[in-house]
Amino acid sequence: MELWILNNKRFGFTLSEVLVTLGIIGVVSAMTVPTLMNNYQRQAYVTQLHKVYNEFLQVFERYMADQKVDTLNESDIYNNPGALNTFVRNYFKVVTDCGTSMADCFAPSYTYINNAKVINVTGTCNKVFTMASGAVVCMDVENCNGSQDDEGNQEGSMTQLKGSVAVIEVDVNGPKGPNIYGRDYFVMYVTSSGQLVDKVFEANDETFSTSATDGGSSNGAFGKILHDNWEMNY
């Protein structure tokens, strides 16, 4: 215990004062540290998502230049799953090639952001692979104009997909947790010009709610992050 000497008198803290101070510090830490950790982890997911986003933008730009086309609608991959193997092999550093099986690369299951539902991963995509960054990608280029839903069923009401050349589902840190839609799992829609957008977010008048129970993997979280200048404010 540190003491100060003034006019031959000693001043210091009593044991009770020290204990009260330590107690206050402990309470404040208990209240703030979890929030700081959550914010740090969420920003880490955003950083990983941004890295995937930038890589795809650069790839599509190079690909269109190599194909000598102005839009992806004119390229070999347009509505042509058979061309994806060559596309992925030539433009990405692939760590794991999972063919068309999501279960072989993604986590076994994913949870809605509000814990309302757990989805087991059993589906397929035109191409599934793990990128050098550790992100896992499911890419579809077939029937991305609203004629089918994510399970391959006829679904004319999926108007939010119209104008998409491809749909990309990505888990930014691979099968590691938390495996939650909107935290580490996102859906991006590829436009004919090679831009990545969120058709669900746009279709919902650029609104997003974590309380929505029907969004699944396409809940508009990517659009919300873009709208908020690469911040996860939810």
- Residue-wise over 163-186: b if at least 16 C-beta within 10 A, else e? bbbbbbbbbbbbeeeebbbbbbbb
Whether 23 is in a domain gets the answer yes
Could you tell me if 210 and 182 are in contact, meaning their C-beta atoms sit under 8 angstroms apart? yes
Residue 83 CA: distances (Å) to CA of 30, 63, 67, 109: 53, 12, 13, 29
- 194 Cβ partners below 8 Å, 6+ apart? 57, 60, 61, 63, 64, 71, 72
Whether 234 is in a domain gets the answer no
Whether 60 is in a domain gets the answer yes
Q: Which two tokens stand for residue 57?
A: 């933008």
Q: Which domain holds residue 114?
A: 13-227
Whether 1 is in a domain gets the answer no
How many independent structural domains does the chain possess? 1
Whether 6 is in a domain gets the answer no
H or E segment and range at residue 128 = strand 127-131
Phi then psi dihedrals of residue 106, to 5 deg: -85, 170
Whether 3 is in a domain gets the answer no
Whether 142 is in a domain gets the answer yes
In tens digits, what is the pLDDT along the chain, a chain of 234 residues?
Answer: 444 444 555 556 677 766 666 677 666 556 665 665 677 799 999 999 999 999 999 999 999 999 999 999 999 999 999 999 999 999 999 999 999 999 999 999 999 888 878 889 988 999 999 999 999 999 999 766 544 444 333 343 344 455 789 999 999 999 998 999 999 999 999 999 999 999 889 888 888 877 655 555 567 999 999 999 999 998
pTM score, whole prediction = 0.78
